Amino acid sequence: MGGLNAPRLRRWLPEISMAVALVILPFVFDTWLGSVDLFTRILIWGIFGLGFDLLFGRTGLLSFGQGAFYGTGGFVTAYLLTSGTLDNVWLAIAAGIAAAAAFSVFVGFLALRRVGIYFAMITLAFGELSYFLENSPLAKWTGGENGLPGVPAPSIQIGGFDYSFAGSWPSYQLVAGFYFVGFVFARFVVLSPVGSVLTAIRQNPERTAALGHDVRAYKLAVFVLAAVFAGCGGAMLGIFQSYMPPDAFTLDTSGQLVIQTVIGGAGTLIGPTVGAAIWLTLRDLLQLVPHVGELWKFILGFVLVVLITFMPHGAVGTIVRLISRSRPLPPAVTASKRPEDATAREALLAPLPAKAPITTPAPLALEVSDISKAYGGIRAVERVSLALPEGRFHAIIGPNGAGKSTFLRLLAREETPDSGRILLHGIDVAAADVTAAYQAGMAKSYQINQLFIELTVRENLRIGALGRQRGRLRLDIFRSANGFAKVEEVVAALLEELGLTGCADVAVTTLAYGEKRRLELGLALVSRPSVLLLDEPLAGLSPAEREGIKQLIRNLSKGRTIILVEHDMDAVFELAERITVLHEGRKLAEGTPKEISNDPLVKQAYLGGMATP
Amino acid sequence: MPTLPQFLSQAFNGIALGSLLALIASGLSIILGTLGVLNFAHGAMFMLGAYTAFVVLGHWDSFAAALALGAVVLVLVGLVTERGLIRFYYSRPKEDQILVTFGLGIMMIEAVRYVFGSLSQPVPLPSWGRGIVNLGFFIYPLYRVEVIGIVAVLLFSFYLLLYRTRIGLVVRAGIEDPLMVELLGTHVRRVFMVVFTIGAMAAGIAGVIYAPLAAVIPNMGEPFLVQCFVVVVIGGLGSFPGAVVGGIVVGEILSLTTLFDPSYAQAAIYAVMTLVLIVRPRGLFGTMGRA
């Protein structure tokens, strides 16, 4: 226990509090509400809800079909035990959970092809599908409308000692044990890099993908994880009631889970449990009131509508927000001391070496040949080529609608060119996605800020750094999100370079526009890219702020290949070594700033009568 | 193997059910397409229409009165819902919109349960709908034939409204690009109110027509809501032709699968939905771009 210092205590405080609550609360229920069973029921919903909160509260995926996995877990466990296929209840529970997970891989693969409204509709449809399957085609095994009675409780045997979990208090112990393990596990997920990525996906899935994270894969991972919790909850239900009811599969079940989560507070882990406590206690208490009892569900519907309208963070969420407003989120535990030394910062932020094929002579950093992109009849980019050696600072200018931003989107692999090749350090990335391009060392800052606005500045940068550090997908849930020493060092150095150290641990929403703009640039730099695409970094800034950003770009351009798209001609001619002029999707001219400013074609098409520097 | 008359009779059932689904789904789909709101209370609105028919037809043998009153009730419900609640949600996340309409649907169902009880209650057929009709190869309940006719007329008027009127033009333009419509000087929010009301009315009228075919029960709208989701996924978001074709397709799949093995009827529509999702994620008539 020697190592239980303040930060570690803080890390484990929720788990300790939960353990205490799980010991005390059942007595409260037993004393005031007549039986511990109500609390057992709440915890079964709570297990189900822990997974749903990771899915919906964390990642923002609103599924209306979680009953499918709750039912699958419950029925597979119940069938294996009641049919005599398995004697060991623990094994049957494991099999039920595995079946729920397997089913969720299939459903998730299909449902996650779409987002938002479609995701909700498709998951709901699969929930209904599983209800119908249980009810008739599979009725031979599931008992159809009758469900499966006689599910036995597990027991433990150590030596001659035999303890069965049948009965009111023992089954509470069983469910509470599973709940506690689930809670600890879910906390690990939330605090891990995976938890950070899931939060980032909720806030801005496109940017998360552009920062090197495989969004589809992470979504599928959390979908399966939620199904594991659901399957476990379903298994507990069957064991607790000694009976597995078919209505575990219904829309009512999935809907009740959603409502409980919203009432309790999404994104708080215990929110669904609190919501279940409110729901089930209210139902039991309202039944006792004459004439009102029948209306309990109406009242809950009303409460849901009122809560969504006026208190979208739910009961727990509102309390958490009140508390965390007075207490800033803890800074990274392993963050090194403030990197004051400019040379040290430069070393930390230097581009990572690219994984280039071993060829001689060294390939170009970026080689674009004849890429084209048309939208219907509009040819946004037509047969544009560009060859940049390592370390080149290149600018692209052109009038509005010339295809500059489209060109950058094609390079960053946010869009796929209709034809042409893009070689990044000699590797063809024309068929890769934006995530792969980022992993290969290309990053982009956006014309319109693409930030994770509810996260702090440091957390924003961390998302980008973790993307390069951990690769497209890694399920390192037992690591801490701030436990990568190298990432923390780079982030701290970059914060200093951006001049954002002072506001590192405040939420992005509170930043001024100029600060957000610098953070946007920082998100493109935090992976230490070798090729950097800058889409109008100076847009919307004051002259003083422009100077600051220009200086920043200059500082960080060393050793990097940069493509700058910018309307501020002074900045372009000052920073760029070479300039390409695009006009109506085609390359009009290319040369040194001096050549461009003297080119008669360019003057005519673009600069017009403007004085040249 | 089923005989030809059995097959034809089920195919006819498929059209009757499918046309009703088309009517409900087109209401859901234009609300979704125009407002961007997935109305989870749509099934409950269908149920409210059915209960209106239950009350009216239980007292008078006037189907016209039931239709009219059903329309009026749902227009009022639609107006109050949009003005009182939905309009505050246009700038909220999609998930909040889903949750609030879900809660609203529960309130409607539970209110009806409180007033009329949980039990299923039969609704009498209108006098002109009783009896059977001989369609050459097979005999068929008269009311079902009439349902197909009535719904065809309603869908056609819906079509005229959407494709031949000013408001229809604005609605269709709004489905393509709501921001642009607003910029062109049309007050989109007012159109939203009208569209929500029309969508609610479509669900309610479908409920009135459906009630005599089966019995009324408070949660009767739920399977229809889910089937409408399948219709919208198959037909494509915001597409009126998609809702009609998708509705008929789903109706036929349900009916014809029942002919061979009723226990797989529901599973079959989800299988087709899955296929559409894989082969053509935007749906048969949908456009890319909207979520």
Q: Residue A533 maps to which CATH number?
A: 3.40.50.300
Q: Write the DSSP symbol of residue B88.
A: G
Whether A227 is covered by a domain: the verdict is yes
Whether A550 is covered by a domain: the verdict is yes
Residues of chain A with pLDDT under 50: 1-2, 327-329, 332-336, 609, 611-613
Tokens of A594: 């001096």
Nearest chain B CA: its distance from A183 CA (Å): 25
With CB atoms and an 8 Å threshold, state whether B106 touches A62.
no
pLDDT of residue A406: 93
Whether A410 is covered by a domain: the verdict is no
Whether A122 is covered by a domain: the verdict is yes
Whether A219 is covered by a domain: the verdict is yes
Q: Determine the Cα–Cα distance for residues B164 and A387; give it in Å rounded to an integer.
A: 55
Interface A-B, measured as beta-carbon pairs within 8 A, has a size of 114
Last-in-domain residue among A326, A358, A377: A326
Long-range pairs, A151-156, Cβ under 8 A, ≥24: A151/A77, A151/A78, A151/A81, A151/A82, A151/A238, A151/A239, A151/A241, A151/A242, A151/A243, A151/A244, A152/A81, A152/A89, A152/A239, A152/A242, A153/A89, A153/A239, A153/A242, A154/A88, A154/A89, A154/A90, A154/A93, A154/A239, A155/A89
Q: Determine the Cα–Cα distance for residues A33 and B184; give it in Å rounded to an integer.
A: 62
pLDDT of residue A225: 98
With CB atoms and an 8 Å threshold, state whether A298 touches B103.
no
pLDDT over 70 percentage in chain A: 94
Within 8 A of B257 by CB-CB distance, chain A residues are none
Task: Report phi then psi at A558, rounded to 5.
Answer: -60, 125
Nearest chain A CA: its distance from B94 CA (Å): 7
Last-in-domain residue among A278, A301, A326: A326
Nearest chain B CA: its distance from A56 CA (Å): 10
To probe the interface with B, which of A298, A307, A313, A415 has the most B CB atoms within 10 Å? Answer: A298
Per the listing, tokens 């980008």 go with A464
A391 in contact with B at a CB cutoff of 8 Å? Answer: no
Q: Which domain holds residue A398?
A: 393-402+434-607
A312 in contact with B at a CB cutoff of 8 Å? Answer: yes
Counting the structural domains of chain A, the total is 2
Within 8 A of B229 by CB-CB distance, chain A residues are 121-122, 124-125
Kind of pairing between the strands at A378-388 and B121-122? unpaired
CA proximity to A370, closest of A354, A382, A353:
A382
Asked whether A259 and A50 are in contact (CB, 8 A), the reply is no
Question: Which of B113, B267, B270 is facing A137, going by the closest CB pair?
Answer: B267
Q: Do you find a cis peptide bond into A154, omega within 30 degrees of 0? A: no
With CB atoms and an 8 Å threshold, state whether B99 touches A255.
no
Tokens of A174: 């069983």
Residue type present at position A414: E
pLDDT of residue A357: 55
Tokens of B255: 């009916």
Asked whether B248 and B18 are in contact (CB, 8 A), the reply is yes
pLDDT of residue A360: 53
Residues of chain B with pLDDT under 70: 1, 287-291
Nearest chain A CA: its distance from B40 CA (Å): 10
Report, in angstroms and rounded to the nearest whole number, the Rg of chain A calculated over CA atoms.
Answer: 29
Kind of pairing between the strands at A393-397 and A561-565? parallel
Give buried/exposed letters for B72-99 (b at 16+ CB in 10 A, else e).
Answer: ebbeebbeebbeebbbebeeeebbbbbb
B194 by Cβ neighbours in 10 Å (0-12 / 13-18 / 19+) ranks as middle
Q: Determine the Cα–Cα distance for residues B17 and B147; give it in Å rounded to an integer.
A: 9
CA proximity to B22, closest of B205, B270, B262:
B205
pLDDT of residue A343: 80
Backbone region of residue A573 per phi and psi (left: phi > 0; alpha: psi in -120 to 50; beta: other values): alpha
Asked whether A105 and A97 are in contact (CB, 8 A), the reply is no
Question: Which of A62, A128, A300 is facing B226, going by the closest CB pair?
Answer: A128
Give the helix/strand (H/E) hosting B16.
helix B4-35
Last-in-domain residue among A326, A344, A362: A326
C-alpha of A137 from chain center: 37
Neighbours of B22 (CB within 10 A): 34
Q: Write the DSSP symbol of residue B124.
A: P
Q: For A317-371, what is each residue's pLDDT tens digit?
A: 888 777 765 544 455 444 445 566 778 888 888 888 766 555 556 678 999 999 9
Residues A190 and A289 in one domain: yes
Question: From B219, which residue of chain A is nearest by alpha-carbon distance?
Answer: A252
Three-class secondary structure of residue A454 per DSSP = coil
Q: Determine the Cα–Cα distance for residues B231 and B250; give it in Å rounded to an integer.
A: 7
Distances (CA, A) of A489 to A292, A426, A539, A582: 61, 30, 29, 40
Number of Cα atoms under 13 Å in the Cβ half of residue A473: 9
pLDDT of residue A1: 45
A114 in contact with B at a CB cutoff of 8 Å? Answer: yes
Q: Determine the Cα–Cα distance for residues A416 and A169; give it in Å rounded to an integer.
A: 61
pLDDT of residue A339: 63
Asked whether B195 and B30 are in contact (CB, 8 A), the reply is yes
Can you spell out the DSSP letters for A467-483? HHHH-S----TTS-TT-
Within 8 A of A113 by CB-CB distance, chain B residues are 277-278, 281
Whether A412 is covered by a domain: the verdict is no
Q: Residue A45 belongs to a domain with what CATH number?
A: 1.10.3470
Q: Write the DSSP symbol of residue B37.
A: -
Whether A374 is covered by a domain: the verdict is no
Check the CA dihedral A267-A271-A272-A273 and report its sign. positive
Q: Determine the Cα–Cα distance for residues A523 and A452; give it in Å rounded to an integer.
A: 10
Asked whether A421 and A370 are in contact (CB, 8 A), the reply is yes
Three-class secondary structure of residue B44 per DSSP = helix
With CB atoms and an 8 Å threshold, state whether A118 touches B106.
no
Residues A59 and A157 in one domain: yes
Nearest chain A CA: its distance from B236 CA (Å): 11
With CB atoms and an 8 Å threshold, state whether B94 touches A116.
yes
Nearest chain A CA: its distance from B126 CA (Å): 33
Within 8 A of A110 by CB-CB distance, chain B residues are 274, 277-278
CA proximity to A389, closest of A580, A589, A597, A563:
A563
Asked whether B48 and B81 are in contact (CB, 8 A), the reply is no
CA proximity to A575, closest of A589, A588, A562, A559:
A562
Question: Which of B96, B274, B281 is facing A114, going by the closest CB pair?
Answer: B281
Asked whether B209 and B149 are in contact (CB, 8 A), the reply is no
3-state secondary structure A141-173: HHCHHHCEECCCCCEEEECCEEEECCCHHHHHH
Tokens of B170: 């604005």
With CB atoms and an 8 Å threshold, state whether A120 touches B95.
yes
Question: Which of B95, B104, B110 is facing A305, going by the closest CB pair?
Answer: B104
Within 8 A of B175 by CB-CB distance, chain A residues are none
Asked whether A148 and A96 are in contact (CB, 8 A), the reply is no
Distances (CA, A) of A78 to A74, A127, A143: 6, 19, 11
Residues A601 and A477 in one domain: yes
Whether A385 is covered by a domain: the verdict is no
Question: From B107, which residue of chain A is nearest by alpha-carbon distance?
Answer: A298
To probe the interface with A, which of B98, B230, B273 has the most A CB atoms within 10 Å? Answer: B98
